[in-house]
Structure 1
Amino acid sequence: MRTVVMGAGRSGLAAARFLAAQGQSVVLTDTRPSPEPTLELDLAKDGIPGVWGSHPESLLEQCGELIISPGIPPSAPFVAAAHSRGIPVIGEVELAHRVLRARSDGSRVLAVTGTNGKSTTTDLVAHLLRTSGLPAVACGNLGTPVIEAVVAGAAGSIYVAELSSYQLETVAAFHAEGAAFLNLTPDHLARHGNLEAYRQTKLRIFERQDAGDLRVVPVAHPEWWQDAPGAGRNARFGWSECEAWCDGSGRLKLHGEALLHREDLRIPGDHNVENALAAALLARHGGATLEAIRAGLRTYPGLAHRIAFCGEKGGVKAYNDSKGTNVDATLTAIKALPGPLVLLLGGTDKGASYEPLRQALAGKLRRLIFLGDAIPQLTRDLGDLPHDVVPAFDEAVRAALALAQPSDQVLLSPACASFDQFDNFEQRGERFEALVKAWLQ
């Protein structure tokens, strides 16, 4: 019998490579006409045959299990054909969980889901645990497939997994000793059909929990989780008194113990206060000490290119939000910082109006810096606001840092793609951080 892996994305490739390394018979199938030459060579080296361009039902002959990638909807005809034949269908996360639990080496799983903030919270939990000296690995939807992390992980590791609704569709025996459901807003409804189906899929993160496990949920929205499956005990987070909350003075508290003031967090915004509270609950359940949680919250810089704090000089703080490649993302960044702001806008225009930024900037704008190919559109929409036009990226950043005053925040959140001057937003953000580093010296 062989295993068929459907989808040659990062998750599918990781599953196929693991199975092939175990000496199992595995076939990879993808709708792309052909793999890239380097991938084709790598698959041949790993002994993984591929079927490209379609998913012929003949692959299900002698198939003992089908592993589908998160991008594959369970309603796909090939998946339905597998079900009709009685072939088990799982995802890479379920495969990783099976492998991990078979080892019985004392490792544990902490998991995070929700519409927004999953990646930051997952990464922060791992940071808090490592600050406490515990072997923690962030994995799942934010980057490293869980199976890759499990294969590389040492005995007794704590795997902090970000799980999307797509990944949770295909869990079966998956069990997390601690799991968080952060929030819920309409998303992926084309896949799930409606908000209630989406919510129910998110709740599957809790379904195998027992009484010793922790269910982390928002105190303000019990309607999201009151019917959650599993037997985990609730630990709530939010803005009213509960297990982890931020009081009216801005102090974060965990089980009645003061942690720090929200201004001591390096990740700004109300949304990141909530992320920090949820992360603290999971990390404490995972064994982190209160002292380590305090220290970790103070030192966590945020994910790269997402309102990431880059440094401070003379009371001026610099933030890299190069991932703010559209107006909505830049709105989030503006709202997260108190101002006054020196905001760098521009790059490759996407055709949307920049007018929505106007209201968010009211009362907190020091100056705008327009740069890159989008200068004409920015000038049209926001040109009546205080601004400078500095087309080249390096000169624009230097200009922003030079005109900022004490207590200002210099924010790169361009509301544009990066392709006019860079290959991608990562490269743009790295250049910004390099320029800030030079300014700090």
Structure 2
Amino acid sequence: MYWSNFLHIYQPPTQTAEIVAKVTREAYRPLTRVLEQSPRAKLTLNISACLTEQLARYGFADVIESLGRLAERGQIEFTGSAMYHPILPLIPCDEAARQIELNTRVNRRYFGDLYNPRGFFPPEMCYSFDVASLARSLGFAWILADEICYNGSLGQVVADRVYEIEGLTGFCIFFKERPISTGLTFGSYPHAEQFLPAAQIQVQPQGYLLTGTDGEIYGHHRPGQELLLQEIYSSGVLKTCTVSELLERYPERERVRPVEGSWSSWEDEIAQRVPYAQWRYPGNGLHALQWELTQLVTAIVDSAHPDGDGYAEARMMLDRGLHSCQYWWASCRPWWDTEMIERGARELAGAALQLRSQTDGTRTRQVERLLALIRKMAYHWQSSGRAMRLKKQYMDEHREVANELTFGNPPHETQTDQPDFA
């Protein structure tokens, strides 16, 4: 039995230096230290280039250097991803390709040839056939998805083979399992003596265990949990490998037609054909306004002349403004944060306002109107209690499965009280 552990580390482009410093002290440095002290341990890592730049900017180049050493030793395999963590199925293909290529270019600036990913991690594991096809066209050999994307139900993946996507000859998909990943996220395994039996029960002897979590659970969201990794590695009970090594270790292939979904999707959402509910939910008025603003600003930037006044600044602000957090925090499924909603809307609107001299006044006024409507609606939902009612409704509808949520930790620091999934 092999354990292939995938970790994703990221901070939003709007994150403060103080929070980046805090997470670095609590998670990123301890995590690299554990790996350096466990030379036989291996894992697969996505570090969004947005975070790589933040680490360099705020004086944490030592983390970048440590990750580079671990990659050189073969302990870490990097994946490709999108620079600012957008929900790729929900943005235009050319914007998605730009984000992926930016991510590769920036990470190579810091890691050099050590950054040469074979696999691709779509942010939030938001899978679609079009995203997989794009990843393949950009040279990747495989993509990660949540197990629910196998066929819309949980518990269906057989982890003794490698799956290929029908219609994309030779392009593989790896399904991250939920039960053990959930336990790691929620701190259900204080020590290796709890984790190892659970892992062995979950997987047949000749199979593999592919877990996937935020890397920040090791020391930041779960203080001291990096020591669990150290115990697991020291025990020698589980052989560890990268995701790409599974391609060689498990020669059997099976073709599949995965369904759209994310690592936050539930079976009822998939059945209702709402695969990305946390970022675009039918009937959510805030989501409707956010995506109307997103599409308008994207169109304004696309139509602007690259050599014109304000274009470079607008292009950068749009790249940053597509990050997923603003939509997530407007979902009430169950996450809610008015500050993140407004911050994201301001970033997007700012991109368009940089191009006033190139933009029709009607479109500029429409951007300003949408920004004001988003602020007004977010304030109304907060003050009227609507946001809390929607959060409660979501939790009531998913109470029986809430403890299976792989990602119970918010993607950034917030002062908002979070619901208890226990």
What is the TM-score when the length of structure 1 is the normalising length? 0.27
Bigger helix fraction: 2
What is the TM-score when the length of structure 2 is the normalising length? 0.28
Larger gyration radius, structure 1 or structure 2:
1
Higher RCO (Cα < 8 Å, 6 or more apart): 2
